Structure 1
Amino acid sequence: MTKITATPKSSLADEPLKIHVTGLEPTQLVTLQASLTDERGVLFQARAFYWTDKNGQVDLERDAATGGDYSGVQPMGLFCFLKPEKPFSRLIKQDVMNTPYKVRLDVFDSFQLSSPPQNQALASQTVERWYAAPGVQRIPVRHGRVRGALFLPAGNGPFPGVIDIFGGIGGLVEFRASLLASHGFATLALAYFAYEDLPSALGPIDLEYFEEAAEFLLKHPKVRGPRLGILAICKGAEIALAMATYLPQIGATVCINGTNAVYGYPLYYRDLCIPPILYKSECMLITGQGAADISNMLGDPRAKLSWDSVYPVERAQGKILFVVGESDGNYNSKAYATEIMERMKKLGKTHCTLLSYPKAGHLIEPPGSPFCYQSWLPFVSRPVLWGGEAQAHVAAEVHSWEEIQKFLRLHLGPIQSSSL
């Protein structure tokens, strides 16, 4: 009897699974398919074609897919290459605490490309992918001006504290913060526009708002000081770099595909006003599918910049890790990070580190997240291209997620094993 087994059956969304098919004929062509429906009702699917071995088995850790949505040996390919049925959709978990994604795994005889497949599945299994480990707490935050959600690991702590910030998507995005808490970090998912009573659209950045968030987190009895970490992407990484530069509370900053300067809107902090380098909206390109290529809106970072807008990163008191996708479809992130690294070298500064991934795109997320090449971005009011090549991007997510956690532990102090 044919059987498909995925272990563990219930796991965190960033953890790998072992997928094994048995009970088939030797050298039989089969199609493996993964399916899930997100909280908006959008169907995501991935399929790949495999030949069984002499024992009639397929082992995704060993065997190479011949084609489909990916090829080669990809143990987590059925999860990382999920594609939306509705164009420009991005898989973002909304309820991270109470419901997992339920992913159905099917094996079909022969080559099946149609959706739904013409034949009935030979075997099926459903697995659960959770975004919060048992014991993780979610606490809504409405403290002064600060809006967000605090995720606390199981145990008494104290835990290293991290602020998690996203970019032009706006609102409150929690899936990365809940996963970080599952790995031992007290993490504040921080909103800064398009959420509750915050500004409805992205605009001037008030760094004192982010300082207020840092002070709130440091005062929590389960958060270990004296400094915090920041994990941020896109516009959030630009803000994180400002926090690292000007706020003494910040000890470790991870900037994923950000810039080296203030762009689009001014940044204010007490008596300081940093003027922006303006976006060049007229340089946006529209693809045949209707998605926007916004990579030229920020101009060439290697050209002469307005140095009044460039962050004096040499002032940062903590450590900074730049995570860069060299095929970022939004920014020339590699060039921004390289400019900072070269400037710090000339100044004799050693507090910055660069992780650069060839062929990776903009949305470098925790592993297990489907590769997203293009999706809707409210800030631009249309879909945008994120860039990257799927297999290289997926590999970058696996490696960078481990390195990010190592970096935060190194500079904020280790996770207490008794707390997990």
Structure 2
Amino acid sequence: MFTLLGRYHTRAVVRFISTQGHPFSTKTYFRINPRVALVDERVSIKVNDLRPLQRVTVRTCVEEGKAVFCSCGHFQADQQGQVDIAEHASTGGTYKVSHDSMGLFWSMKPVPGISKDLLLRKGDVTTPLVFRLSVIDGHIPLEDPQLATPVVLATEELERWYKHEAVRRTVVREGSLRGTLFLPEGEGPFPGIIDMFGSTGGLTEFRAALLASRGFASYALPFFGHDDLPPSLADFDFDYVLGAVDWFACHPSVRQGGIGVVGTSKGGELALLLGMATNKVNVHGRTMPRSCICVAMMMACGWIHTLKTFMETCPEEKRKNVELIIYSGAGHLIEPPYMPLCRASYHNKLGMTLVMGGQLEGHAVAQRRRLEETAPILPETSVVDTKTDKLLTYRDHAYCMF
């Protein structure tokens, strides 16, 4: 596991929370470890030097582009005047669970009237998400228009990154291919993964950057709506992604013997099709699909039926290596662990807001389970379970077609 060294230090101004508040004499302070980390790492947050049994609200805010997201938990200090987010129950706020060190992150939601975006997503992976924490006296709801002067006891910031500082980022312009190549520190070769997103088009880098931070050579592959690629999905040519597989699988920094493909939404469909269409996506030279599919229970039943029909039409030798995993309560956009649920998002190509579904706690569990289930196999992208002859692969996002 990589450890961020904190070479980058940036600060963000989150307008929603005032740190001025009502004057209050206190030595209260946060103890956060680590203060600089990757987005899928757990963080320890403690509040010290409170009064014994004091009731407080711990609030977290982040601003990224047009998105302003906040969360809060209601806690009671112990007899020593400490609140440990991982050990103490949140009895109110944006989440209510007994023990969860990351609840302040996965329960974040857009601030009404301030956030212009319903989706918290990192655009520039060379900068961190900067989270501003504050501890406030008393149990205060997240949206309380009557509270003009909260008593802020302490504030702190922490950084969460998608891209480790040692990861190398290179713009790809090879023939018709476009996108971004991320390579981990070292000479390699590394296990390789192609990463694709959905029908909104454009280039999305955050997941590829995180994969590279975990030791993968990763290729963020746009297929329309970026640079000089076709402007619409209607003009998309499947030969383009086949060419990307050929180029990436032969890259000197990519380990031979097969690459992985990860896809969200329309990218999930393309991942399936690539597994069927090329032997470059394989295991130890054996042709087989590289993408297992996770489908959220909250998605429309018709889409799940379509997936099952798709798998039933696969050739037998490939069908046995395809696995359908259903996460109950998950929405469409399964992000890296501890990122907030996006229940609805504006689709720039359709010109409308689409409901993504999902339940807050169920979605958070799905994102965490996906990491826990795949962590043991991620360092090896070409492993077959000898007992079942089933491909062990990077299980990723819900598949559907808009």
| TM bracket, shorter-chain basis | 0.7 to 0.9
For the pair 1:106 / 2:137, whether they are aligned, the reply is no
- DSSP 3-state at the match of 1:236: helix
> Do the aligned partners of 2:288 and 2:318 also contact (CA within 8 Å) in 1?
no
- Do the aligned partners of residues 316 and 203 (structure 1) sit closer, same or farther apart at CA in structure 2, a change above 3 Å counting? farther
The aligned residue for residue 95 of structure 2 is: 70
The aligned residue for residue 58 of structure 1 is: 83
- DSSP 3-state at the match of 1:67: coil
- Do the aligned partners of residues 221 and 44 (structure 1) sit closer, same or farther apart at CA in structure 2, a change above 3 Å counting? same
C-alpha distance in structure 1 between counterparts of 2:365 and 2:234, whole Å: 34
C-alpha distance in structure 1 between counterparts of 2:306 and 2:339, whole Å: 26
- DSSP 3-state at the match of 2:59: strand
The aligned residue for residue 284 of structure 1 is: none
C-alpha distance in structure 2 between counterparts of 1:123 and 1:226, whole Å: 53
- DSSP 3-state at the match of 1:25: coil
The aligned residue for residue 232 of structure 1 is: 263
> Do the aligned partners of 2:275 and 2:281 also contact (CA within 8 Å) in 1?
yes
Deviation at 1:355, TM superposition (A): 2.2
For the pair 1:318 / 2:289, whether they are aligned, the reply is yes
The aligned residue for residue 378 of structure 1 is: 348
The aligned residue for residue 43 of structure 2 is: 17
C-alpha distance in structure 1 between counterparts of 2:238 and 2:136, whole Å: 54
- Aligned partner of 2:135: which letter? V
For the pair 1:250 / 2:271, whether they are aligned, the reply is no
> Do the aligned partners of 1:168 and 1:235 also contact (CA within 8 Å) in 2?
yes
- Do the aligned partners of residues 232 and 375 (structure 1) sit closer, same or farther apart at CA in structure 2, a change above 3 Å counting? same
Counting only pairs closer than 5 Å after superposition, residues 280-319 of structure 1 correspond to structure 2 as: 317-319=288-290
Q: 5+ unaligned residues in a row in structure 2: which ranges?
A: 1-26, 385-402
For the pair 1:168 / 2:194, whether they are aligned, the reply is no
> Do the aligned partners of 2:289 and 2:318 also contact (CA within 8 Å) in 1?
no
> Do the aligned partners of 1:160 and 1:413 also contact (CA within 8 Å) in 2?
no
C-alpha distance in structure 2 between counterparts of 1:410 and 1:242, whole Å: 22
Q: 5+ unaligned residues in a row in structure 1: which ranges?
A: 253-314, 415-420
| Greater mean deviation of Cα atoms: 2-11 or 149-158 | 2-11
- Do the aligned partners of residues 155 and 227 (structure 1) sit closer, same or farther apart at CA in structure 2, a change above 3 Å counting? same
- Aligned partner of 1:24: which letter? L
Select which of 359, 366, 388 maps to 2:358.
Answer: 388
The aligned residue for residue 339 of structure 2 is: 369
Counting only pairs closer than 5 Å after superposition, residues 20-419 of structure 1 correspond to structure 2 as: 20-38=46-64, 40-72=65-97, 73-85=99-111, 86=115, 88-97=117-126, 99-113=127-141, 114=144, 118-251=149-282, 317-328=288-299, 332-340=302-310, 349-412=319-382
- Do the aligned partners of residues 346 and 413 (structure 1) sit closer, same or farther apart at CA in structure 2, a change above 3 Å counting? closer
Residues 205-234 of structure 1: CA deviation (Å, up to 9, x unaligned): 422100111111122211111311001011
Deviation at 1:237, TM superposition (A): 0.6
C-alpha distance in structure 1 between counterparts of 2:287 and 2:305, whole Å: 20
Residues 101-158 of structure 1: CA deviation (Å, up to 9, x unaligned): 1111110000223378631310111001111113100000111111100000011110
- DSSP 3-state at the match of 1:159: coil
Deviation at 1:379, TM superposition (A): 2.7
Structure with more of its chain in strand, by fraction:
1
- Do the aligned partners of residues 344 and 399 (structure 1) sit closer, same or farther apart at CA in structure 2, a change above 3 Å counting? same
C-alpha distance in structure 1 between counterparts of 2:230 and 2:100, whole Å: 43
Deviation at 1:382, TM superposition (A): 1.5
- DSSP 3-state at the match of 1:128: strand
| Greater mean deviation of Cα atoms: 147-156 or 69-78 | 69-78
C-alpha distance in structure 1 between counterparts of 2:231 and 2:148, whole Å: 43
C-alpha distance in structure 2 between counterparts of 1:212 and 1:345, whole Å: 23
Deviation at 1:174, TM superposition (A): 0.3
Deviation at 1:27, TM superposition (A): 2.2
- Aligned partner of 2:84: which letter? D
Q: Percent identity, aligned pairs only?
A: 36
> Do the aligned partners of 1:326 and 1:333 also contact (CA within 8 Å) in 2?
no
Deviation at 1:400, TM superposition (A): 0.6
> Do the aligned partners of 2:61 and 2:132 also contact (CA within 8 Å) in 1?
yes
C-alpha distance in structure 2 between counterparts of 1:228 and 1:153, whole Å: 16
Q: Report the TM-score when normalising by structure 1.
A: 0.77
- Aligned partner of 1:50: which letter? F
Q: Report the TM-score when normalising by structure 2.
A: 0.81
> Do the aligned partners of 1:207 and 1:243 also contact (CA within 8 Å) in 2?
no
Q: CA RMSD in A?
A: 2.4
- DSSP 3-state at the match of 1:226: coil
C-alpha distance in structure 2 between counterparts of 1:204 and 1:402, whole Å: 38
In the comparison of the two structures, how many residue pairs are matched? 349
